[in-house]
């Protein structure tokens, strides 16, 4: 469909940029970005510093980190947020009703967490944190949709996206560095009570945000898309029903299996809890199969049936009210994007899914143990960790993102993706050196003059080597992250970009999150040094898959016909 004049991109210009920054929508976008980043920083980062201070064992922390699966599976309930209204608050608006409720719920949860002892009330602590992660993931989905809905000629989608990232990064500093500074001077309950009150205030302020309602045109477009499923050549409703049911059962089983394991692990004493290593070895692969592999096979089967003309409609078959429409909505929201993804990639979907599942595992699998490593194992103070990991580390991450963007332009997407995978894996060796004293990192810091600089700014050589290590990893993660986002964006279809991107980006967290319980136990038994050697080796699985995918894309490019020159005849 052709763009209207209002939709066509215009040259920014300083006046338009200043007008956009002064827009009410832009202001609330910054607030929403902050509100999205704060619970993520607290629940999947800073909270582990509190658990470390409370002497919670590392295996328990690894199991506790499974609350991050809420972000990995958020694509499952995202379609419902587009169609379901919340009783009593539906008048707030299509998106705002969910945003306000999620923010207020997060505020309450953080306030209640501040009243609990994580060691004595670990069951309630983990339950509330899990609900908080679910509310945070839900808020992320709706804020992303709100940004698209309210964008206009003044507050453009590019400006709103940039402001959102700024708010998110500021929240990472507040929920990370500032929280550590406060904890050093007050207490963890005070920190979480303060953050809870801040989230509650944001929820109240969000009551005044602009919003959009379901337009007649939007509803009409949804009806047209549903009607297409009932036209000749489409899969028969009974086959679609069974496919949706099968995928629903697989995903439901995966969630239930992980949930039961988490409850049993956190609800029992360490001696009575299930073996996390055994769970990962036996159930972990089954969870990946049920979440990714079998649904992909079902989608491939549906693509085959449609191409072969088997079990397809020969005439229009309008949907009846009730279950038929419910199935059509579920099928269009979840199965159709997956079938399109598998249908376009063909056999290459095996390579792509393998790459998606393993690319970020080197940094995601041990991320929950960063604070225990810095504070417990290496015995740095909270102030030192705040300076090194948050202030200096965030700067290094931004530098890595900038370098990644530059490399994408200079050497290309797949070269940058492969380079990012290599350095992201190798930087785990920097932490391995820290785990055995950090002599090599100290030598690097001294050689480049960084130790001298830090000592003249009030630090010492010991802090300098931590900052150099964190900088090395964050620059690598930034380069890899920029390349990975570009790669994910290139493999999704424009027609189903929202669901497909949510799906593949969520899967990047799956394997790393599932493996943290076993990793925590391994740290307890064998120490950090061997764990960092293991994560380095795991990282080269992604390197191998990058090389295979690079070869596939190069071969595919050669097989495409060359564009015809406008000067050539015919």
Using only the alpha carbons of the chain, give its radius of gyration: 25
- Short-list 89, 94, 96, 124, CA closest to 109: 124
Per-residue confidence (pLDDT) for residue 533, from 0 to 100 = 93
- Residue 312 phi/psi, 5-degree rounding, is -115, 155
User: What is the rounded CA–CA span in Å between residue 454 and residue 452?
Assistant: 6
Per-residue confidence (pLDDT) for residue 510, from 0 to 100 = 76
User: What is the rounded CA–CA span in Å between residue 31 and residue 203?
Assistant: 10
Domains 20-214 and 359-555 belong to one CATH topology:
yes
Per-residue confidence (pLDDT) for residue 5, from 0 to 100 = 38
Integer CA distances (angstroms), 137 to 171, 294, 303, 353, in order: 15, 25, 31, 22
Segment among 128-142, 273-287, 497-511 with least mean pLDDT: 497-511
Superfamily (CATH) of domain 359-555: MFS general substrate transporter like domains (1.20.1250.20)
Q: Regarding predicted confidence, which is higher, 506 or 381?
A: 381
Query: What is the mean pLDDT of the segment spanning 243-257?
Result: 89
Write down the H helix ranges in 22-86.
24-41, 47-53, 58-64, 69-72, 78-81
Query: What is the mean pLDDT of the segment spanning 525-534?
Result: 90
Which residues, in sequence order, are bridge partners of residue 296? none
Q: Would you list the domain boundaries of the chain?
A: 20-214, 215-326, 359-555
Per-residue confidence (pLDDT) for residue 38, from 0 to 100 = 95
**The CATH number of domain 20-214, selected from 3.20.20.70, 1.20.1250.20, 2.60.40.1730, 1.10.760.10:** 1.20.1250.20
**Percent of the chain predicted with pLDDT > 70:** 86
- Short-list 276, 257, 107, CA closest to 194: 107
Give, in degrees to the nearest 5, the angle at Cα 337 between 335 and 340: 105
* Helix, strand, coil in percent for the chain, rounding step 5: 80, 0, 20
- Short-list 116, 110, 187, CA closest to 179: 187
Per-residue confidence (pLDDT) for residue 153, from 0 to 100 = 67
CB atoms near residue 374 (< 10 Å): 23
Query: What is the mean pLDDT of the segment spanning 552-557?
Result: 88
Alpha carbon 85 to its chain centroid, in Å, reads: 25
- pTM for this prediction: 0.73
User: What is the rounded CA–CA span in Å between residue 370 and residue 393?
Assistant: 13
**pLDDT, the chain, mean:** 82
């Amino acid at each position: 469909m052709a763009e209207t004049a209002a939709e066509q991109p215009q040259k920014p210009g300083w006046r338009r940029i200043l007008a956009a920054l002064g827009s009410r929508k832009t202001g609330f976008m910054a607030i929403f970005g902050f509100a999205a980043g704060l619970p993520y920083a607290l629940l999947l980062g800073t909270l582990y510093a509190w658990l470390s201070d409370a002497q919670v064992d590392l295996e328990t922390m690894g199991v506790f980190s499974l609350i991050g699966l809420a972000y990995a599976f958020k694509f499952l309930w995202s379609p419902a947020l587009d169609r379901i209204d919340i009783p009593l608050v539906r008048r707030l608006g299509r998106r705002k009703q969910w945003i306000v409720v999620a923010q207020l719920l997060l505020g309450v949860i953080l306030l209640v967490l501040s009243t609990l002892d994580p060691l004595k009330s670990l069951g309630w602590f983990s339950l509330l944190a899990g609900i908080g992660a679910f509310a945070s993931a839900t808020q992320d989905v709706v804020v992303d949709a709100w940004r698209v809905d309210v964008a206009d000629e003044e507050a453009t989608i590019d400006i709103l996206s940039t402001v959102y990232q700024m708010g998110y990064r500021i929240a990472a500093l507040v929920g990370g560095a500032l929280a550590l500074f406060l904890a050093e001077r007050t207490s963890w309950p005070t920190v979480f009570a303060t953050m809870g009150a801040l989230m509650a205030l944001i929820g109240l302020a969000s009551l005044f945000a602009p919003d959009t309602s379901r337009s007649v045109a939007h509803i009409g477009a949804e009806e047209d898309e549903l009607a297409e499923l009932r036209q000749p050549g489409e899969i028969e409703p009974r086959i679609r029903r069974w496919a949706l049911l099968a995928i629903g059962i697989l995903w439901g089983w995966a969630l239930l299996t992980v949930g039961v394991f988490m409850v049993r692990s956190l609800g029992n004493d360490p001696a009575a809890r299930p073996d996390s290593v055994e769970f990962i070895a036996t159930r972990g692969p089954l969870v990946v199969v049920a979440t990714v592999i079998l649904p992909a096979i079902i989608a491939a089967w549906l693509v085959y049936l449609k191409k072969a003309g088997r079990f397809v409609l020969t005439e229009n078959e309008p949907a009846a009210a009730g279950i038929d429409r419910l199935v059509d909505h579920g099928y269009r929201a979840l199965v159709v994007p997956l079938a399109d993804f598998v249908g376009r990639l063909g056999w290459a979907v095996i390579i792509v899914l393998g790459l998606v599942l393993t690319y970020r595992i080197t940094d995601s699998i041990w991320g929950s143990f960063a604070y225990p490593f810095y504070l417990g194992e290496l015995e740095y103070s909270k102030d030192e960790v705040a300076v090194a990991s948050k202030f200096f580390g965030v700067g290094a991450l931004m530098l890595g993102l900038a370098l990644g963007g530059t490399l994408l332009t200079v050497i290309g997407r797949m070269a940058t993706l492969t380079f990012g995978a290599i350095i992201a894996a190798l930087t785990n060796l920097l932490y391995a050196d820290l785990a055995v004293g950090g002599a090599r990192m100290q030598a690097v810091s001294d050689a480049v003059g960084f130790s001298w600089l830090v000592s003249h700014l009030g630090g010492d050589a010991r802090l300098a080597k931590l900052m150099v290590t964190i900088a090395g990893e964050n620059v690598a993660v930034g380069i890899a992250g920029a390349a990975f986002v570009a790669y994910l964006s290139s493999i999704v279809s424009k027609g189903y970009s929202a669901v497909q991107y949510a799906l593949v980006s969520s899967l990047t967290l799956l394997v790393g999150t599932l493996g943290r319980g076993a990793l925590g136990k391994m740290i307890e038994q064998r120490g950090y040094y061997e764990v960092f050697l293991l994560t380095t080796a795991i990282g080269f699985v992604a390197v191998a898959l990058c090389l295979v995918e690079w070869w596939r894309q190069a071969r595919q490019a050669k097989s495409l016909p060359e564009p015809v020159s406008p000067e050539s005849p015919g």
